[in-house]
Amino acid sequence: MTEAAAPTGPRPRPGRERAARLAAPLGTAAGLALAVAALHVRDPHRAGSWGLCPSSLLGIWCPGCGGLRAVNDLTHGDLAAAASSNLLLVLLAPALLALLAVWTVRRWQARPLRGAATVPGWSVGALLALVAAFTVLRNLPGAWLAP
């Protein structure tokens, strides 16, 4: 009977292991922070400041319409204007930030994302249904959800 050979070579240092685990959540957070900073500096309320809006091609308000303006308004502390631009984004942003925080802490602690930190399977379907309903409601005549 043969014994399994022990792994050879240098063992990774704990600090490097943690850095590798944190690369994805911290990279995501850095990308989000950069995007938010850009939206704070360059005002999306000016037409064409961020390129062509897909709604001009599609002829409907998509669920993301007004999202850039909402983030800009949030960075200036104007919650009412942000909600007026895109209520769905304003309502979902805290949950998305909480998920990013949980992901980062779990990776820091080298714990898997299973258990209480994961999103239940049914919630993906519920989120898709919410986005679809939001899209329909904001495109009804006289809809107050339109950006």
Whole-Å CA distances, 98 to 53, 101, 102: 29, 5, 6
Using one digit for the tens of pLDDT, what is the confidence trace for 82-131?
999 999 999 999 999 998 998 899 889 888 776 655 677 888 899 999 99
Alpha carbon 128 to chain centroid, angstroms: 15
Q: Is this structure's pTM higher than 0.95?
A: no
Handedness of CA 7, 12, 14, 17 (dihedral sign): negative
Q: Which residues contact 113 (CB under 8 A, 6 or more apart)?
A: 102, 103, 106
Q: Do residues 75 and 118 lie in contact, with contact meaning Cβ atoms separated by under 8 Å?
A: no
Kind and range of the H or E run holding 92 = helix 87-108
Mean pLDDT lowest among 24-38, 72-86, 112-126: 112-126
